[in-house]
A and B are shown apart, each in its own frame.
Chain A
Amino acid sequence: MARHWRAGAAGLAVLGLTLTACGGAKVGDSSSGSNGAGSSGKCATFNLAVNPWVGYEADAAVVAYVAEHNLGCKVTKKNLKEEIAWQGFGTGEVDAVLENWGHDDLKKKYVTQQKTAVEAGQTGNKGIIGWYVPPWLAKAHPDILDWKNLDKYASNFKTSESGGKGQLLDGDPSYVTNDAALVKNLKLDFKVVYAGSETALIQSFRDAEKNKKWVIGYFYEPQWFLSEVPLKKVSLPTYTTGCDADAAKVACDYPVYDLDKIVSAKFAKSGSPAYNLVKNFNWTNEDQNTVAKYIAQDKMSDEAAAKKWVDANKDKVDAWLK
C-alpha cells in the first residue's frame, strides 16, 4: 500500500510540475491599467441605484461609464426597486437615483421629513403616461385614439378577465395610475385588469400587434419597447393643473412628468465630482431611447452601449463635466 501511495505522490508531483511549466501568465502580472485615466483623484466610491427598467439602465450605464472613465470613480451599481433605493439614502448605501417618476410620497418621506435625500434637478426626459393601443388598431380604426369613442369598441376588448366589459390592461404597480378612477369618472364600459408587471404588459402588446388582437392598456414613454412596436396614445380629457388633486375624482389625462434625479443629502455635500456629474446629467428622450435600444434590442452590454453613445455625443458629455 505504501508503495502505491508513493507512486501516486510522485505521479502527482510530475503532473503538478508539468502544469506549472506550461503555466502562462500569472495573476498580478498584468500591472495596473484598471485604475484608468483618473483625472480627479477625489472621487471615492459612487453608489448608483439601478431601478429595474431598461430606460433607467441606459441612464445608469452612461453615467457610470463617464464617472469611471472621465472622473476615475469606482462605481458600484446596485440593482434595487425604487422604494428600497430611496430607503438606501438614509442608510448611506445609495448615493443617487437617476430617473424618478413623480413619487411625491417618497419625496415627502425622504426629502421633507427625514431629510436624507435632496433633489438634483431634471434629467431632461419627459415622462408621458397614458392609454395606448397597438399600431394596427390605430390604423384600422383611427377614431379609437379619442377616448369618447372607446365605448363604441368596448365589446371588442372583452377578455376572460374583464367580466363582460372591455378590458383596460394595467401593468407594474410601481407606476402612478388613476385608471380605475378614470374609467369610473369617464363612465366607460371598461374594467381595469391588473397584469401586475411590465413584462406581462409588453408581452400582451407585442402579441396584440403580431396577431392583430384588441388590446388597450396603460403604457408610458420613454420606453425601449416603443421602438419595436410604436404604440399609439389615446387622448384623454386634457390635463389641467390640479385636475388630478382628488385621486377619486380624476377625469383627466396624466400630467407630463419631468423626470428628475434624487441624491442622498450626504452625497450632495461630499464635494465628489460624481455629484457634479449627476447634477449636470441631462439628455433627451431620444438619447435615452437610443441607448435603451442598444441594450434591449441589440443586446449590447451596458458598458458597450454607453461607450457607443458617449463616443458619438462628446459635446453633451463635456457639458456634464463642467
Chain B
Amino acid sequence: MTVAIEKPEKTEAAEPAAPAKGARKVSRPVMIGAIFVVWLVLFAVLRGKQTLSLAVADLTDLHRWINDFNDSIGANRNSNPLFLYFFNEIRLVIDNLVTFVQHLISQPSGSRPVPEIGWLGVVGLAGYVSWAAGNWRVALLAVAGFTFFGLQGLWQESMDTLALILCAVFVALLFAIPLGVWAGLSDRFNRIMTPFLDFMQTMPTFVYLAPLTLFFLIGGASATIATVIYAAPPTIRITAHAIRNVSKTTVEAADSLGATRRQSLLKVLLPMSKRTVVMGVNQTIMAALAMVTIAALINAPGLGVNVLQALQSLDVGTAFNAGLAIVVMAIVLDRVTTAASAREENARRSKNRFVKWRRPLLGLGAVVTVVLIYLSHTYLWAADFPGDGTVGSHIASATDTATNWAQDHLSGLTNAFRDAITNGLLNPFQTLLTDSPWWLVGAVLIALAVVLGGWKAGITAAVCVGLLVATGVWSDAMTTLASTIVATVLVMILGIVFGVWMGRSMMVDRMIRPTLDAAQVMPPFVYLVPFLALFGATRFTAIVAAIVYGAPVAMKIIADGIRAVPETTVEAATSAGCNTWQIITKVQLPMSRSALTLATNQGLIYVLSMVVVGGLVGAGALGYDVVAGFSQGELYGKGLAAGLAIVLLGVMFDRITQAAARRAGA
C-alpha cells in the first residue's frame, strides 16, 4: 500500500497565476476570515430558515421516480433484449472465469472432493511467482503468508477470496490498461474519463449492489463486477499518469527516427511506463481486497463471509482472525507487486554474479513447483491443509481478551473525550451547516472555492451545490459534511504528527508502516465493535472509523513529502543553529506543502468513503440513507440520491483541494 499517486498534483501545467498575485497572497486568509464572519452574522439572523430538511422516512419526487425506474427494470428483466443478449453474455463469461479459478484452487471440482491444486501446490506456486517476479525476500514472505492462512484454519476461505481477487484484478486490468493508455495519450478522453472514475471510486457500493445482482444475478459475476468497478480506477489513473510522464524528448526522438504511432506506443511509451503501471496494478489489488466483505453480502464466498457471520453474534475474535487473513493477503500481494515494479530497475543497474544463475535457477524452481502441484493434486495430505487451525482459535481468544480489557478499563476516559469533541467541535459546526439557509451555505462553499482554488474551482463548486440541492438530501449532506470535516481535521493532525516522525526516521517508518497497511485493509466492522463499546453508537464512533481508514494515507504521503526535502537544506538549517522543532516547523513542513495538500485531498476522499460505514454505527445522515436504501425497497431512490450526494461532496472537495495544491506548487 504504497502511497497512491492517483491524483497527480503537479503534472498538468500549473494554472496561470491569478493576476495581482502579490496582493492576493496577503489577503487570502483575510478573505477567508471575512467569508466566515459574514456567514456567522447571516446565520444569527436567518437561523432555521430554508434548511431543506427531510425526515428519515420522507421521499422527494426524484426518489420515487428512481424507485419506479428500478422496479420496471426488475419486472422486464426476462423480456428485455439488452438483458438477453448483453448482460447475460457478460455474466456467462465472467461466471465461467470465476468458476474455473475456484475449481483450480478453492472449490471441489467435478467428482473431486478437493480443488485441482491443493495447499502445497498453491504455496509453492505463490513462492515461485513471487520470486520470479520480485525477489527471494518477498518469495519467503509469500510462502509464510500463505502457510499462515492454513494455520489459521482459513485455507479454503482464503483461497476463495484469492480466486475472486485474481478474477476481478484480471478483468479490471483487461479494461483499465487500454483505457489508461488512451487517457494518457488523449487529453480529451482523459477529461471525459475523470468524472466517471471519481464516480466509480466514491459512489458507495451499497447503492449499486442490488441493481448489479439484478443485471448479473447472484454469484461470482456480480461479486467480480462490483469489485472491478471499485478497483479499476487506480490502474486507469496511474497508467494515464505514467504515459504522460514519459519524457517528451524521448518520444520526439522516436518520432524523428520514423517510428509510427503504434511503434512509439509499443516500443517507447509502454516499456518506459511499465514501472509506474505496476504500481497501479498494486493499488487495484488493494482496492479489490477492500471489497471482500461487501462482496460477501451478495454471496461471494471467502473470508468476508467469516467476518460478517462472526459479527452477527458480535464474535470479535473470530472476525479478527478472518480480517487478519485479509490483511496478510494484502501485505503479501502489496510487497510482491512493489518488488516486481522495482525489479526491472534493480536488475538493470546491478550486475551482480547471481544474474547469470537466474535462468537455470528459475528453471529449477519451475520444476519444483510443478512437482509440488502434482503432489497436491494427487495426495490428500498435500491437498487439504493439515491441522485444525489452532493458531486461528488462539488469535481469536487473544483478541477477545484484549478487546474485553479495553472495553472494561478505557470506557470512562473515552466517553469524556467523545463528549469534548462532540460538544466542542462537531455540534456547533453541524448546527452552523444544517441550520443556515441552503443558499447561504452554498454561497459560502462557492466563495471558499474561488478564494482557495480560483474561478474554475468556483464553477465546479457551484454546479455541485446545485446538484446537491437537486438530490433532495441537502440537510443530511450538511450533517455528513460536518462530521467529514471534523474527521479530516483530526486525520491531518495525526497525519502531520506521525508523517513527520516517519519522514524523519526510517526506522520508525518501518515499524509503523505494517500497522498502517493493516488499518487500511482490515474490514472496518472488526475494530468497530470494540469502538462501539467505547464510544457508543454515535457520530463520534463514525469519525473514529473514518480516521482509522483515512489517517494512514495522510501519514504515508506526508512522510514521503518530508523525506523529499533535500538533505542539504536540512543540514544548512542545522548548522545555522535551528533546533529540531524549528527545523520541522520552519523548514520541513513548509517545504513539503504540496504533499500536505495532497494528503488533505486524499484524507478527505478516504474519509468520505467511510460515510456508509459510519451510517452503520450511528452517524445517521447520508450514510444511514444509503444503508436504508440498500435494506428497504421503498427507500432505494433516496439511498441512491444520498450516494450521489456523497459523490458530489467528494468531487467538490477534490477539485478545490487540487486547485489549491496547484497554486501551492506554483
Q: Which residues of A contact B (CB under 8 A)?
A: 1, 4-5, 8-9, 12, 15-16, 19-20, 23-30, 34, 52-54, 57, 78-84, 87-88, 90-91, 93-94, 105-106, 109, 113-114, 159-161, 169, 172-174, 180, 192-204, 206-207, 211, 224, 247, 295-297, 299
- The docked-state distance in angstroms from the alpha carbon of A109 to that of B67 is 12
Closest to A161 in B: B538
B311 within 8 A of A: yes
A79, A113, A193, A200: the one within 8 Å of B297 (CB) = A79
Given known A195-B618, A196-B627, contact A174–B632 (CB-CB < 8 A)? yes
B392 within 8 A of A: no
Interface centre among A91, A113, A180, A297, by most B CB within 10 Å?
A: A91
- The docked-state distance in angstroms from the alpha carbon of A173 to that of B619 is 13
B309 within 8 A of A: yes
What residues on A are CB-neighbors of B71 within 8 Å? 109
Closest to A23 in B: B379
Q: Are A200 and B617 in contact (CB-based, < 8 A)? A: yes
What residues on B are CB-neighbors of A295 within 8 Å? 313
Q: Are B624 and A194 in contact (CB-based, < 8 A)? A: yes
- The docked-state distance in angstroms from the alpha carbon of A203 to that of B381 is 42
B113 within 8 A of A: yes
- The docked-state distance in angstroms from the alpha carbon of A209 to that of B60 is 40
- The docked-state distance in angstroms from the alpha carbon of A94 to that of B632 is 19
The DSSP consensus for interface residues of chain B is helix
Q: Are B537 and A198 in contact (CB-based, < 8 A)? A: no
B375 within 8 A of A: yes
What residues on B are CB-neighbors of A81 within 8 Å? 297, 630-631
Closest to B383 in A: A27
- The docked-state distance in angstroms from the alpha carbon of A9 to that of B366 is 11
What's the nearest-Cβ distance from chain A to residue B162, in Å? 19
What's the nearest-Cβ distance from chain B to residue A53, in Å? 6
- Chain B 354-386, CB-CB to A under 8 Å as 1, else 0, gives 001000100110011001000101111101000
What residues on A are CB-neighbors of B536 within 8 Å? 159, 204, 207
What's the nearest-Cβ distance from chain B to residue A267, in Å? 15
Q: Which residues of B contact A (CB under 8 A)?
A: 55-57, 71, 74-75, 77-78, 111-114, 209-210, 213-214, 217-219, 296-299, 305, 308-309, 311-315, 318, 356, 360, 363-364, 367-368, 371, 375, 377-381, 383, 407, 411, 418-419, 422-423, 427, 525, 528-529, 532-533, 536-540, 615-620, 623-624, 627-628, 630-635
- The docked-state distance in angstroms from the alpha carbon of A180 to that of B418 is 26
A79, A114, A194, A297: the one within 8 Å of B620 (CB) = A194
List 25 interface pairs A-B (beta carbons < 8 Å), by A numbering.
Answer: A12-B368, A25-B380, A26-B378, A26-B379, A27-B377, A27-B378, A30-B113, A52-B308, A57-B309, A79-B296, A80-B298, A81-B297, A81-B631, A88-B213, A90-B77, A93-B217, A93-B218, A109-B74, A109-B633, A172-B631, A173-B631, A180-B55, A196-B618, A200-B616, A201-B537
- The docked-state distance in angstroms from the alpha carbon of A192 to that of B377 is 58
- The docked-state distance in angstroms from the alpha carbon of A12 to that of B124 is 14
Q: Are A54 and B313 in contact (CB-based, < 8 A)? A: yes
